[in-house]
Structure 1
Amino acid sequence: MLNKLDDFPVHQTPEPIAVPATSDRNVYDRTWFNGYARDGSYYFGIGMAIYPHRGILDCAFSVVEPGGRQHCFYASRRAPSERTEMQVGPFRLEVIEPMRRARVVLDDNASGLGCDLTFSARTAAIQEARQTLWSGGRRAMDATRFDQFGRWRGAIRHPDGTIAVDDEVCLGTKDRSWGVRRVGKAEQGGSPAKPGGAFFLWAPLVWDDHISHAIFFDGPRGEALVREGIVAPLYASEAEVPGVEDGLDRRMADARHRVVYVPGTRLAQSAEIDLVDHEGRTRTIALAPILRFQMKGLGYAHPTWAQGMWKGELEIGHESFDPRELNMLAPENIHVQQVVRAGDGARAGIGVLEQVCIGPYAPAGFTAHFDGAKG
């Protein structure tokens, strides 16, 4: 199972690169992006992942504008053994320069969606702390992730029109993660799995001269499973960005969150994040949503296009829906990202707030699997 990457000195085990170090069927390797206008006039999301032990490579592209429909493209194929082959039908991802520039192309297809977009980094790569979550004695998630903040240039075509993407206007986040997490068809056999829950917040924000980032996984009582706050420099141009890491990211001593929910839903109406530095100073950031994106448009919890599901040798799908007409307590609609305006009393920023809350969660008063906030 040799591939082109085996010609580089990058091996971590005695096996070829195409052979994962774990036999867990849920091993994955994923590239994910978002892009959004500074004024919240559009948002798009992109994802591609390989699941080596499931033999699947899948991808998705989705875009939404205020008051309009969200348009979604999905594709899945048998995974190639060549890891540099990142194409599924009309969709392809090109790494032009690692950790600096990438290109995403979606050629003409039956969905009416298409794009030619180039991501240009404005931060060094920022590694999040390793995220390990347990289900009994088994790791339900064990992953490494790094993020980069940047800008987009190019064009998007969708069934309702076109978007000229200008890098003076369009910001975005690149998210690379790999490891193990629950994806695809559930394992069969053994005792029936007990219903599980999840609480996750992820808040990458862009300010004038820096970025801030906060990551939270909570247990059902609100106990901290993962808490991380990060502040890092924002560079004026791609040419100034170091090739890998710059060592200038500052890790906070603590991070906290507070969410006010839209009554009858699990959707954030507003939120606050506290970044607490090692001298005990607290920076409180208020977040105000201005545009919602449904993550099912990238396969998350999608009833038919969930990530890591075998669809065939090559299969392509698409759909459009009005986000305003969704049942926000349906399982596939819980997971969202929202473009948010950010403020800390002295500065203004822009970014996204990603959230998913499934199952009981005491701080919000949720007691059932999919009940909503009390009015």
Structure 2
Amino acid sequence: MADDRPIALDEYPVHQVPLSMKHVATGDRNAYDRCIFHVFDHRGRALLIVGLGVYPNVGVIDAYATLRTGDRLHAVRASDALTDDRMNLSVGPLRITVDVPLQRLSLHCAADPADPDSLSYDIEWTAAFPAVWEPHHVQRRGERLMLEGRRFVQAGNCSGVIRAGGDEIPVVAGEWTGTRDRSWGVRPIPGEEGGRAEAEYRPEGFHWLWIPVRFDDRFVMVIAQEDADGYRTLNEALLVRDGGPDVQLGWPRTEIEYRPGTRHPERAVVRLTAPDGRPMELTAETLCSSPLALGAGYPPATDWQHGTWQGRGWTDRRSYDMSDPAAHPAAAYGVTDHAARFTLDGQVGHGIFEHGSFGRHDPSGFTGYTSVAP
């Protein structure tokens, strides 16, 4: 083909397989490569979530930003045709710049020219600790590979400004925290025929915790994924200090206090174990919540999901009224990110308590998809 030519990245010795860097090593349509950032203040007034992803086998690049303040969730989403310039991390009004890899990144969103009071921001995200690998994530439904991802996570400081609804919110280092996750591999994109896997292997339940926490002198990462019986398929508890060896903290056991009549976590205790056997308690209090199915494009969103073709140059802005949770029933069946205050060994830290619990989960006492906390 006349247009099948090398791209700029092919100049560099970064190839892993005998293919152009334009192509991924799998023909799976669900191949992806993306990131997510969390920027939040320590008093629970604001939670900004930013993400960008490429889906090379469907030819799509997209990005989003959501801002939760009070009972309002502002959202910007953009999608376009993927080009050969994979170093250009921008879609519509949304842009991410890697200023110094693994150390400093810039997050930018331009306002709607027709609405100067719409969501916009300029944020500098600076690492406070080294990035660390998360466990290799593999999930199957029957024999069908649904998800395989390589990830790393990092915590840092943020500074800059966020604008929305006529307000300007200063982002001040020391008063705000940032976390981020990078992942790539295979992950479901809407539009694929479910086939036998969907018909015969419907999950009875899913229970997920992803908890990155930044303290002044350490970074703690906890991950747990369990099925309906409580069988754990993903597990991590790690303490990271700059310049020191990473420390494993055993098999995390989490006790969650849910808001009555919901599965919304209000407080939690994560029981950890130091290498010398000493018990440790990581406590969490959620401050500000943002369901990823609203605005951010995660399942089971009904207005837009990642990797779906929206046409060239598509941008969508909207806001959600969060005062009545019953107005957004799909959010209860998706993962929610909660900005939270944590304590560990007498220190106070801040991070994300990401949680999703749907269907049966025996350890929590949930009996099915309609089951909630008493």
Query: Above 0.5 in TM-score?
Result: yes
Q: Is residue 120 of structure 1 aligned with residue 126 of structure 2?
A: yes
* Alpha-carbon spacing, 1:192–1:31, altered in 2? closer, same or farther (3 Å): closer
Taking the aligned partners of 2:150 and 2:26, their CA distance within structure 1 comes to 14
* Alpha-carbon spacing, 1:54–1:209, altered in 2? closer, same or farther (3 Å): same
Q: CA deviation at 1:172?
A: 0.5
Please tell me whether the aligned partners of residues 247 and 275 of structure 2 are also in contact (alpha carbons under 8 angstroms). no
Q: CA deviation at 1:261?
A: 1.6
Q: Which range moved further: 225-234 or 355-364?
A: 355-364
Q: CA deviation at 1:3?
A: 2.7
1:16 aligned residue: 20
Q: Where do 1:173-188 residues align within 5 Å?
A: 173-187=179-193
Please tell me whether the aligned partners of residues 3 and 83 of structure 1 are also in contact (alpha carbons under 8 angstroms). no
Q: Where do 1:250-329 residues align within 5 Å?
A: 250-295=247-292, 296-301=294-299, 302-327=301-326
Other structure's SS at 1:253 match: coil
Q: Which range moved further: 276-285 or 217-226?
A: 276-285
1:132 aligned residue: 138
Q: Is residue 40 of structure 1 aligned with residue 38 of structure 2?
A: no
Taking the aligned partners of 1:155 and 1:179, their CA distance within structure 2 comes to 33
* Alpha-carbon spacing, 1:275–1:2, altered in 2? closer, same or farther (3 Å): farther
Letter of the 2:331 partner, please give it.
E
Q: Where do 1:198-213 residues align within 5 Å?
A: 198-213=206-221
Please tell me whether the aligned partners of residues 229 and 361 of structure 2 are also in contact (alpha carbons under 8 angstroms). yes
Please tell me whether the aligned partners of residues 144 and 197 of structure 2 are also in contact (alpha carbons under 8 angstroms). no
Note the alpha carbon deviations across 1:249-272, whole angstroms, 9 max, x for none. Answer: 222332222222222212112111
Please tell me whether the aligned partners of residues 36 and 182 of structure 2 are also in contact (alpha carbons under 8 angstroms). yes
Note the alpha carbon deviations across 1:90-145, whole angstroms, 9 max, x for none. Answer: 21111111111111111121571111111111111111121112211222211111
Please tell me whether the aligned partners of residues 337 and 352 of structure 1 are also in contact (alpha carbons under 8 angstroms). yes
Letter of the 2:158 partner, please give it.
W
2:53 aligned residue: 49
1:77 aligned residue: 80
Unaligned stretches of 5+ in structure 2?
Answer: none
Other structure's SS at 1:16 match: coil
Letter of the 1:344 partner, please give it.
L
Taking the aligned partners of 2:328 and 2:95, their CA distance within structure 1 comes to 33
CA RMSD of aligned residues (A): 2.0
* Aligned-pair identity (%): 28
2:329 aligned residue: 330
Q: Which range moved further: 169-178 or 263-272?
A: 263-272
Q: Is residue 368 of structure 1 aligned with residue 368 of structure 2?
A: yes
Note the alpha carbon deviations across 1:131-164, whole angstroms, 9 max, x for none. Answer: 1122112222111110111111111111251211
Taking the aligned partners of 2:371 and 2:328, their CA distance within structure 1 comes to 7
Q: CA deviation at 1:60?
A: 0.4
Q: CA deviation at 1:208?
A: 2.2
Letter of the 2:325 partner, please give it.
L
1:171 aligned residue: 177
Q: CA deviation at 1:81?
A: 2.5
1:229 aligned residue: 237
Please tell me whether the aligned partners of residues 34 and 44 of structure 1 are also in contact (alpha carbons under 8 angstroms). yes
Q: Is residue 28 of structure 1 aligned with residue 25 of structure 2?
A: no
Other structure's SS at 1:260 match: strand
Taking the aligned partners of 2:8 and 2:129, their CA distance within structure 1 comes to 28
- Aligned residues between the structures: 362
Note the alpha carbon deviations across 1:206-259, whole angstroms, 9 max, x for none. Answer: 11211111011111111111010010115xxxxxxxxxxx67222233222222
Please tell me whether the aligned partners of residues 4 and 84 of structure 1 are also in contact (alpha carbons under 8 angstroms). no
Unaligned stretches of 5+ in structure 1?
Answer: 235-245
2:163 aligned residue: 157
Please tell me whether the aligned partners of residues 252 and 272 of structure 2 are also in contact (alpha carbons under 8 angstroms). yes
Taking the aligned partners of 2:20 and 2:226, their CA distance within structure 1 comes to 37
Taking the aligned partners of 2:236 and 2:250, their CA distance within structure 1 comes to 8
Please tell me whether the aligned partners of residues 34 and 183 of structure 2 are also in contact (alpha carbons under 8 angstroms). yes
1:351 aligned residue: 351
Please tell me whether the aligned partners of residues 77 and 315 of structure 1 are also in contact (alpha carbons under 8 angstroms). yes
1:97 aligned residue: 100
Taking the aligned partners of 1:140 and 1:9, their CA distance within structure 2 comes to 31
Q: TM-score, normalised by structure 1?
A: 0.91
Taking the aligned partners of 2:6 and 2:249, their CA distance within structure 1 comes to 42
Taking the aligned partners of 1:342 and 1:172, their CA distance within structure 2 comes to 14
Please tell me whether the aligned partners of residues 294 and 337 of structure 1 are also in contact (alpha carbons under 8 angstroms). yes
Q: CA deviation at 1:5?
A: 2.2
Taking the aligned partners of 2:90 and 2:106, their CA distance within structure 1 comes to 12
